[in-house]
Amino acid sequence: MRVLGVDPGLTRCGVGVVEGVAGRPLTMLGVGVVRTPADAETGVRLVAVERGIEEWLDEYRPELVAVERVFSQHNVRTVMGTAQASAVAMLCASRRGIPVALHTPSEVKAAVTGSGRADKAQVGAMVTRLLRLSAPPKPADAADALALAICHIWRAPAQNRLQQAVAAHHASKGRSA
């Protein structure tokens, strides 16, 4: 499975592509950051994020895009930019028919480090180890994007089984009614 992880942000949108399956060593195919100037108008910045995401989709052809689920923060301006960049990533993938999965920051941290309260340095260190890199990806947004992709690859088999069980349960209820 090839997954593009997106750590959404309006100034720095982390992107990373990981390939592999749960239980096997994973491979990083690419990592980077789509940057926009903080002094540009929001619409211009969103177009720049879109262009950047589209380039990553063109180059790496992921089977799925994993995006960090936006959570409430104290700074409304920050959360708005994050939500807007998240929506752009989801739109780019959906326009191409690529499935999108959302993961919370604590889900990603728990999947990669074993603790949902891990800090950025711990996430970066584990991403470095798991992908057998020589150094943690910089900035942290890039490492977070890789962590999102890793999280999805590891969680997908269990999520798929759960979805199948729910579908089977609903199907059996429909036959007995």
Q: Catalytic residue positions?
A: 7, 68, 141
Copy the structure tokens of residue 137.
Answer: 């990806």
Q: Which residues of 3-39 are buried (b: 16+ CB within 10 A; e: fewer)?
A: bbbbbbbbbbbbbbbbbbeeeeebebbebbbbbbeee
d(CA 17, CA 34): 14
Which H or E element spans position 103? Answer: strand 100-103
